């Protein structure tokens, strides 16, 4: 999720720069092919930093509401890590003037994600990490997403993604529906529905993910021998009294089942998690003997309004 927001923020800032720059030089830079190339170069330069290089090429339809970009390349100090080809954006450019990003459709003919980006070497400037605008994207259509071997684990993985996204920075609210499925002859899919609105005291979560052996999830989790993985997480209710359940299955065996609960009280945020599982195979050798067989856990505590943590109970029991 963190990498998703990072990519989204970069793209939104690039679009903001596009609008601001284009308004000032409309006649000079958008009337000819050479002018549009100069505009793309200017946007690329303004969106780049010492740790990040953004290259935008082939801009068309800036004022038509049907923006088209031939390709966008994101690079870090190690080189390119993401390429988006034939990007299509059906949107309202003028809505950005009121800090709203409204789009009927965002699509790209092909996304190539070779790896995750490196951490920047420049010191953090602090400040807010919130999005610069409100977002309402009614359709996300990415029919070809190629993941490099570093992410896929073996060869190149081909995926497709569809969904929608609404996000408001103030008050914070996020609502998204997303489906990701492999289409390279291998099975695997992720379905997610999330509605998070703290100001409305609401959190609905429904996540299902399933992959056979040698899948992307097992590689990202660094599971030994990349076994089949199934994940189910669900929960709903007001944030002041929220509960959820989760199941993690590896190689057709339940690794862990857990329940979680969050309650808001005068003292702060009460959090409870309890469950059991078999964790031995995933632990370093020196810890395996402590978690032989089934292990049960029961943890509860309060994150107090004063900034501290009050542990009510914390028990771990195994068959050892």
pLDDT in tens, the chain (320 residues): 556 656 666 666 666 665 555 555 554 455 556 655 655 666 677 677 888 899 988 888 877 789 999 999 999 999 999 999 999 999 988 887 788 899 999 999 999 999 999 887 665 554 445 677 899 999 999 999 999 999 998 889 999 999 999 999 888 899 999 999 999 999 999 999 999 998 899 999 999 999 999 999 999 998 988 999 999 999 998 989 999 999 999 999 999 999 999 999 889 999 999 999 988 888 888 888 888 888 999 999 999 988 899 999 999 898 76
Task: Please tell me the predicted confidence (pLDDT) of residue 165.
Answer: 95
Task: Please tell me the predicted confidence (pLDDT) of residue 127.
Answer: 45
What distance in Å separates the CA atoms of residue 106 and residue 264, rounded to the nearest whole number?
A: 38
What distance in Å separates the CA atoms of residue 249 and residue 229, rounded to the nearest whole number?
A: 6
Sign of CA dihedral 221, 224, 230, 236: negative
Task: Please tell me the predicted confidence (pLDDT) of residue 59.
Answer: 86
Task: Please tell me the predicted confidence (pLDDT) of residue 284.
Answer: 82
Task: Please tell me the predicted confidence (pLDDT) of residue 144.
Answer: 98
Q: What is the pTM of this model?
A: 0.82
Task: Please tell me the predicted confidence (pLDDT) of residue 159.
Answer: 97
């Amino acid at each position: 999720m963190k990498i998703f927001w990072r990519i989204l923020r970069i793209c939104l800032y690039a679009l903001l720069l596009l609008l601001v720059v284009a308004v000032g030089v409309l006649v000079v830079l958008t009337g000819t092919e050479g002018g549009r190339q100069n505009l793309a170069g200017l946007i690329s330069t303004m969106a780049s930093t010492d740790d990040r290089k953004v290259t935008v090429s082939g801009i068309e339809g800036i004022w038509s509401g049907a923006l088209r970009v031939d390709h966008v390349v994101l690079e870090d100090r190690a080189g390119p890590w993401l390429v988006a080809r034939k990007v299509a954006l059906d949107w309202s450019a003028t809505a950005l003037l009121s800090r709203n990003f409204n789009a009927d459709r965002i699509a790209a003919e092909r996304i190539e994600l070779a790896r995750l980006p490196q951490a920047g070497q420049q010191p953090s400037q602090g400040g807010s990490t919130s999005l610069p605008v409100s977002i309402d994207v009614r359709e996300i259509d990415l029919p070809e997403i190629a993941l490099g071997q570093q992410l896929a684990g073996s060869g190149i993985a081909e995926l497709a993604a569809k969904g929608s996204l609404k996000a408001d920075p103030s008050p914070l609210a996020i609502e998204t529906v997303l489906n990701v499925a492999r289409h390279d002859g291998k099975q695997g899919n992720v379905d997610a529905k999330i509605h998070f609105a703290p100001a409305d005291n609401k959190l609905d979560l429904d996540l299902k993910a399933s992959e056979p052996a040698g899948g992307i999830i097992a590689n990202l989790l660094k599971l030994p021998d990349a076994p089949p993985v199934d994940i189910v997480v669900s929960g709903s209710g007001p944030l002041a009294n929220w509960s959820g359940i989760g199941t993690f299955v590896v190689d057709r065996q339940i690794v862990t089942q857990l329940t979680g609960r969050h309650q808001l009280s005068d003292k702060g945020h009460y959090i409870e998690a309890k469950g059991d599982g078999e964790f031995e195979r995933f632990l370093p050798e020196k810890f395996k003997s402590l978690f032989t067989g089934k292990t049960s856990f029961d943890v509860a505590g309060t994150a107090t309004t004063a900034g501290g943590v009050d542990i009510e109970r914390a028990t771990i029991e195994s068959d050892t």
